[in-house]
Amino acid sequence: MKIGVAGAGAMGTGIAQVAALAGHKVVVFDPFDNSLKRSATNLDNDFKKLVEKGKLDQAKAEAVRSNIIHAADLNSLAGCSLVIEAAVELLEVKKKLFADLESVVDPHCILATNTSSLSVISIAAACKHRGRVIGIHFFNPASIMPLVEIIPAFTTDESVPVSAKSLIDSWGKVTVMAKDTPGFIVNRIARPFYGEAIKIYEEGVASFADIDHAMRSIGGFRMGPFELMDLIGNDINFSVTETVWKQMFNDPRYRPSITQQRLFEAGLFGRKSGRGYYDYSEGAAKAESTADDLRLQYIFSRILCMLINEAADALYLGIASRDDIETAMTKGVNYPKGLLKWADEIGINKVCDTINKLHGDYQDDRYRTSLLLKKMASENARFFS
Ligand SMILES: NC(=O)c1ccc[n+]([C@@H]2O[C@H](COP(=O)([O-])OP(=O)(O)OC[C@H]3O[C@@H](n4cnc5c(N)ncnc54)[C@H](O)[C@@H]3O)[C@@H](O)[C@H]2O)c1
């Protein structure tokens, strides 16, 4: 089976590697020569590293690498069974690309987008055969992150998500099904991890180091919110937050923060720029937490309850199934536990009490308890038996 990848950037190159390792012939299309060259070099280096680490032998690495072809001509994608688009995140570029692709590939070819922030249907709208268009959303780096969100749009034919899921599963990835809504599963449910953390900081309740320490030491998260935003990049994280908020028609739950906007405006993107919430320059002192146990517990419980509320609401609104929500958050962003399982452990009544108290204090719709949690609390129900 021949697989096409349109867009030879970070994601397209990673996806090409995954598909080739699964035994496919892969054509990577990009109209820009410099992108094609960079992608080819990065793949050469990646395969070299796989051999050095003993994950592939030399002969196999060469065979797999030779199955990936780079092309600046869209016609090279003819004969593909699936084309995954990973071009720049601009709707007009993607729409034109999809419309052009339709004139190159055969009628049964599935056209997938790896978009993070656009709706799948807005891209499908450019196609004559919208039924074949679907979202297949990999996480960065695509060669390492196990999770892939499969996102059928309103117009996607029923057979397409089934074929897409079984193919991507066969590539060794863990797939979850998501509705075509802003942020899909992970980028929607994870918002309070960042947003509530920044709000706690803005209120002067705690420092970045306190909040990070609380989430690591009590919650068992590998990184705290500020460390993670500095790793992801405040430019990228701010843009995802802003996009989700705008697409949710300014729902206060997803409201971006002035603090992160200022960091973004100042170019304080985090590790990659040498400074974000923390200073990464040579010899800079490491910020330490000074909060007592009571404060750490308050921080942890406020952020965790907001995350659980978001997960419960995603389930209530049919964004994804219970099990897929748990898988998405543990495999896509490495949460130590599924949020719904965590809710059962804490007690759904307690989660509701925490959010109701915040709502009472702030009189802000940001703190509205999911109807599902309210209903479950009144019935003394659990997510898992
Ligand atoms: N980087 C991430 O963390 C991440 C994670 C998941 C999904 N995504 C999504 O994947 C897509 C690509 O992101 P990226 O980080 O690889 O970007 P990137 O900037 O690294 O690569 C984009 C590529 O698109 C190419 N391009 C421009 N116009 C094109 C066209 N008309 N046809 C084909 N290619 C074209 C560029 O030459 C470039 O190589 C975006 O939709 C993004 O939202 C990114």
192-228 confidence digits (pLDDT tens): 999 999 999 999 999 999 999 999 999 999 999 999 9
Nearest to 133 by CA among 151, 148, 106: 151
**Given this model, what pLDDT does residue 49 score?**
97
Reported as a pLDDT band with limits 50, 70 and 90, residue 305 is very high
97 lines ligand 1 (CB under 6 A): yes
Query: Is 12 touching ligand 1 by the criterion CB < 6 Å?
Result: yes
Q: What is the pLDDT of residue 116?
A: 93
How does residue 241 score in pLDDT terms, banded at 50, 70 and 90? very high
Question: Which pLDDT value is given to residue 81?
Answer: 98
Report whether residue 183 contacts ligand 1, using a CB cutoff of 6 Å.
no
Please give the average per-residue pLDDT across 155-181, as a whole number: 98
Question: Could you give the angle at the alpha carbon of 180 between the alpha carbons of 124 and 8, nearest 5°?
Answer: 60
Cα of 361 from ligand 1 centre, angstroms: 43
Ligand 1: residue whose CA is nearest its atom 7: 116
Contacts 24+ apart (CB under 8 A), 230-235: 230/270, 230/271, 230/276, 230/277, 230/278, 230/280, 231/270, 231/271, 232/270, 233/269, 233/270, 233/271, 233/272, 234/260, 234/263, 234/264, 234/268, 234/269, 234/270, 234/276, 235/264, 235/269
Identify whether the C-beta of residue 75 lies closer than 8 Å to the C-beta of residue 104.
Answer: yes
188-379: CATH architecture: Orthogonal Bundle (1.10)
Instruction: Give the pLDDT of residue 92.
Output: 97
- How high is the pLDDT of residue 277? 98
Is 13 close to ligand 1, i.e. is its CB under 6 Å away?
no
Q: Whose CA is nearest to atom 24 of ligand 1?
A: 87
pLDDT for the residue numbered 53: 97
Q: Average pLDDT, whole number, for the chain?
A: 97
Kind plus residue range of the DSSP H or E element containing 147: strand 147-152
| pLDDT above 70 coverage of the chain, percent | 100
Across the range 6-18, mean pLDDT stands at 97
Residue 136's pLDDT is what?
A: 98
The pLDDT tens digits of the residues spanning 101-124 come to 999 999 999 999 999 999 999 999
How far apart are alpha carbons 247 and 238 in whole angstroms?
A: 14
Give the model's confidence band at 59: pLDDT under 50 very low, under 70 low, under 90 confident, else very high: very high
Active-site amino acid positions: 116, 137, 149, 187
Best mutation site among 11, 139, 151, 272 for ligand 1 pocket (most ligand atoms within 8 Å of CB): 11
Ligand 1 center–CA 30 separation, angstroms: 10
Q: Contact at 8 Å (CB) between 8 and 85?
A: no
Q: Which residues of 215-235 are buried (b: 16+ CB within 10 A; e: fewer)?
A: bbeebebebbbbbbbbebbbb
Locate the ligand 1 atom nearest the alpha carbon of residue 6 and give its number: 33
Q: What is the pLDDT of residue 163?
A: 98
Residue nearest to atom 10 of ligand 1 (CA): 86
Identify the band that residue 275 occupies on the pLDDT scale cut at 50, 70 and 90.
very high
What residue segments make up the domains of the chain, in order of their start? 2-177, 188-379
The pLDDT tens digits for 85-101 are 999 999 999 999 999 99
- Residue 115 C-alpha to ligand 1 middle, in angstroms? 8
Closest CA to 68 of 134, 138, 143, 135: 143
116, 120, 159, 251 from 155: Cα distances, Å: 19, 10, 12, 26
The domain made up of 2-177 is a member of CATH 3.40.190.10: no
pLDDT of residue 171: 98
Nearest CA to ligand 1 atom 29: 87
Nearest CA to 276 among 235, 230, 212?
230
Q: Name the band, by pLDDT with cuts 50, 70 and 90, for residue 33.
A: very high
pLDDT of residue 302: 98
Q: What pLDDT score was predicted for residue 376?
A: 98
